[in-house]
Structure 1
Amino acid sequence: MTAITVELNNKIKKAPVRGMMENVMEQFNSAADHIDLHPNIRKILSITNNEIIVHFPVKMDNGEVEIFTGYRVQHNNALGPYKGGLRYHPTVDIDAARALAMWMTWKTSLAGLPYGGGKGGIQLDPSNYSQGELERITRRFTYALADNIGPEHDIPAPDVNTNSQTMAWIADTYMSTRPPAERTANQHVVTGKPEGSGGLEGRDRATGYGVFLNIKFWAERTNEALYDKKFSVQGFGNVGYWAAYFLEKEGAKLVAAQDAFGSIENQTGISVENLLNYNKANNGSIVDFPEASEIAKESFFETDCDICIPAALGNQITKDNAPKIKAKLIAEGANGPTNGDGEKILLERGITVIPDILCNSGGVVASYFEWLQNRNGELWQLDEVMAKLDKKMKESFDKVFEYSEREGMDMRTAAYCIAIRRIEKAYVQRGIFP
């Protein structure tokens, strides 16, 4: 049996981190400087609490054993249990998990939720494995994490290449390891479950709907009409689809889309529903969609549009393509899609960026609703969920927009200032043990 290794960050000397971690630290330090964050609290928030790395064996369909590496980074829990997604992707590593966990801390704080931030996943390409293999990988990963997750300690959720089925496997495996009397009481160990297994009605659309709401709130605040606005979506998965779906309902036009396989454009408009149906029938790809023309991958961000929604992976908008962007609004559906150099250029050009920790927070807000629903033994209807989501997202947007206007700063820095202030207040009130 391969040994399981658990590494805690306070026992490891780490090498300098580049990429997403560099971006999140630059964003954090900018906001911390602005609010004159106490040096001791800055030290605490600059590092992660725990970093768990597990190596575990799984038997493949052909009988061979493959070794996988999984990660779970727990950044901070001053406000409550760690909360954040698990992704299955070749880019998953400890550095990415650190950055994403830190972003989750700011996101949950900004939303006013009783959560901290965590993130993780497995370094793999799920398309290379059968459904049965993915189930065994997921269950073995859950078993390897053991007591490092829990409904009052660390609550995973879906992320890139994971879904409600993945969460159902995790919940079942986790509950199976508990004493019989405690099993049903641990259903909320994960959120994003199928509706028949304790999931929340409307959770599937919550992140994309939240992106749409932020765009709508921005339009209202700037006296813009969404009708006939052109928008592009990078990543036509769950987030990108639902954001596009609700924007189209408002009369806006999808004119370009990009996924891992290619990019398409049609300036007269692309039917969101037709594209979804084609995507499903074409093995999850939008390539060769008959109602649009193919464009070069590197030309996607140059598309003539009013609103651009990067809803794929991190570090997509950089100093190389930011000067060519024609959209006046960037609504970040993904985590960290705009790096520091790219954002500086966007802001200098007068382009507004609705930051990820605000724009895509609909998912974690809905996760909170699901967690409450399971914890209290309740069942919420779709209209109730959507009304609660509207209210919560409006509160967050208004706080960030007004802080940004009042302080004369970009929306990302404003969002960070609000989020960090709330955590700072918790530390000031509680003190530092011992």
Structure 2
Amino acid sequence: MTVIAKGKTKKLPLRGMMDNVMEQFNSAADHINLHPNIRKILSITNNEIIVHFPVKMDNGDVEIFTGYRVQHNNALGPYKGGLRYHPTVDIDAARALAMWMTWKTSLAGLPYGGGKGGIQLDPSKYSPSELERITRRFTFALADNIGPEHDIPAPDVNTNSQTMAWMADTYMSTRPPAERTANQHVVTGKPDGSGGLEGRDRATGYGVFLTIKFWAHKSAESLKDKRFIVQGFGNVGYWAAHFLEKEGAHLVAVQDAYGTLHNDDGIKVEDLYNYSIANKGSIVDFPEAKAIPKADFYTTDCDICIPAALGNQITSENALYIKARLIAEGANGPTNVDGEKILLEKGVTIIPDILCNSGGVIGSYFEWLQNRNGELWQLDEVMIKLEKKMRESFNKVYTFSESEAMDMRTAAYCIAIKRIEKAYVQRGIFP
């Protein structure tokens, strides 16, 4: 990695996700003078589960898979967080992501702690029937470590409502008959017909859009004719772009795992989405935009940048060349510490992941409540409740940031950690 500063070139090692989350945590903990004992507790995870399990493939061969579930902290309530299927899943990534979930749920004022996990695999290499068997076997292996009042998984990278339906069915099948329907809220992000929340599919992306809208309002600006770029055109990236376009903003560049597109006159979001669905999820060869090199994505002239793919995407190598005035973190941990320092020095505003993409876990909370109480919420009701919750979180972070003259990430961490500290102070530590 290279950093160019004052005419000199400096080599820096690439930080891991855990390094980033710990530096962010310690910076906020220092600012609020977090009690040393509580700092010790929050610096480590409560439980780390690694499971190895066999699954029979379509051709009759057996493959062994490794799955992870890290439970960071449950001082405020059950562990909550997604499961991803990706080659980068390992224990270090799960630890970092679980910690981020603890801060995210605390900041949103939810009665949850933080957990995260997944399986180390490339789902594109497996058939739907193989993925179903992998998911069900993974759920069975985790069954004693998850539960509707203990640890509640949700979709994440490369998992979706179908994955959650398989998980819920498998988990409920392992319970005594009288308890099965009472365990429907063991996971969230389920399909509408299987206890899912109407609007859960767009909750994360809508939340990203809302934080951008709130930022524009605070800046006394309109989103009309703002130029934005999106990395990751999955569920989060698509819905964020969808709502921004409705406000009159223009998508000028987009990148997914397969390619990078640019059109200075704007890319029609719905046209690109429909094309990607027909093209097996890929944006490659979309006729209304031209392909550009992957490295050129972050150099695109724009007002708003939405990294909505994986972690560690904005680093000291590319932060120097980013032209956006606003980074809205749709993904978890997309900006590493070194990249963030450069962006802040340039005067770029960053809406941090634990605030920006918290619409997903807020939507999950609504689904959990709906299942728990035997209710059915309508889409308009969900969207109103989501906007209210996101506005409350944004205003808290923005106000704290302004009053303390600090960046929004540190402000968000301070608020989240102080809420957890208060719980420990009031309850004490057993025994």
The counterpart of 1:75, out of the listed 72, 75, 82, is 72
Do residues 299 (structure 1) and 302 (structure 2) align? no
Do residues 40 (structure 1) and 43 (structure 2) align? no
Residues 349-360 of structure 1 aligned to structure 2 (within 5 Å): 349-360=346-357
Do residues 102 (structure 1) and 137 (structure 2) align? no
Do residues 254 (structure 1) and 251 (structure 2) align? yes
Deviation at 1:18, TM superposition (A): 5.3
What does the per-residue CA deviation read over 1:341-389, in whole Å, with 9 as the maximum and x for residues that have no partner? Answer: 0000000000000000000000000000000000000000000000000
3-state SS of paired residue (1:301): helix
Residues 399-418 of structure 1 aligned to structure 2 (within 5 Å): 399-418=396-415
Do residues 290 (structure 1) and 281 (structure 2) align? no
- TM-score under structure 2 normalisation? 0.97
Do residues 208 (structure 1) and 205 (structure 2) align? yes
Cα distance between partner residues in 2 of 1:165 and 1:367: 15
Cα distance between partner residues in 2 of 1:111 and 1:186: 24
Deviation at 1:271, TM superposition (A): 0.1
Cα distance between partner residues in 2 of 1:303 and 1:216: 21
3-state SS of paired residue (2:265): strand
Deviation at 1:287, TM superposition (A): 1.1
Deviation at 1:188, TM superposition (A): 0.1
3-state SS of paired residue (1:364): helix
Do residues 62 (structure 1) and 59 (structure 2) align? yes
RMSD, aligned CA: 0.7
Cα distance between partner residues in 2 of 1:65 and 1:288: 37
Deviation at 1:58, TM superposition (A): 0.2
Q: How many corresponding residue pairs?
A: 418
Cα distance between partner residues in 2 of 1:271 and 1:343: 30
3-state SS of paired residue (2:264): strand
Cα distance between partner residues in 1 of 2:417 and 2:355: 13
Do residues 224 (structure 1) and 221 (structure 2) align? yes
Amino acid at match of 1:50: N
The counterpart of 1:156, out of the listed 153, 156, 165, is 153
Indicate the residue corresponding to 1:6 in structure 2. none
Do residues 344 (structure 1) and 341 (structure 2) align? yes
Do residues 173 (structure 1) and 161 (structure 2) align? no
3-state SS of paired residue (2:266): strand
Cα distance between partner residues in 2 of 1:282 and 1:383: 31
Cα distance between partner residues in 2 of 1:359 and 1:241: 15
Cα distance between partner residues in 2 of 1:266 and 1:146: 48
Cα distance between partner residues in 1 of 2:320 and 2:125: 37
Cα distance between partner residues in 1 of 2:222 and 2:319: 25
Q: Residues 316 and 342 of structure 2 are in contact (CA less than 8 Å); yes or no, is this contact kept in structure 1?
A: yes
Cα distance between partner residues in 2 of 1:318 and 1:43: 28
The counterpart of 1:238, out of the listed 222, 235, 250, is 235
Cα distance between partner residues in 1 of 2:418 and 2:185: 28
Residues 388-399 of structure 1 aligned to structure 2 (within 5 Å): 388-399=385-396
Indicate the residue corresponding to 1:93 in structure 2. 90
3-state SS of paired residue (2:67): strand
Runs of 4+ in 1 over 3 A off after TM superposition: none
For structure 2, which runs of at least 5 residues remain unmatched after alignment? 1-13
Do residues 328 (structure 1) and 322 (structure 2) align? no
Amino acid at match of 1:251: G
Q: Residues 226 and 249 of structure 2 are in contact (CA less than 8 Å); yes or no, is this contact kept in structure 1?
A: yes
Do residues 185 (structure 1) and 220 (structure 2) align? no
Cα distance between partner residues in 1 of 2:322 and 2:112: 35
Cα distance between partner residues in 2 of 1:288 and 1:133: 29
Cα distance between partner residues in 1 of 2:180 and 2:62: 30
Deviation at 1:281, TM superposition (A): 1.2
Q: Residues 15 and 336 of structure 2 are in contact (CA less than 8 Å); yes or no, is this contact kept in structure 1?
A: no
3-state SS of paired residue (2:83): strand
Cα distance between partner residues in 2 of 1:121 and 1:319: 28
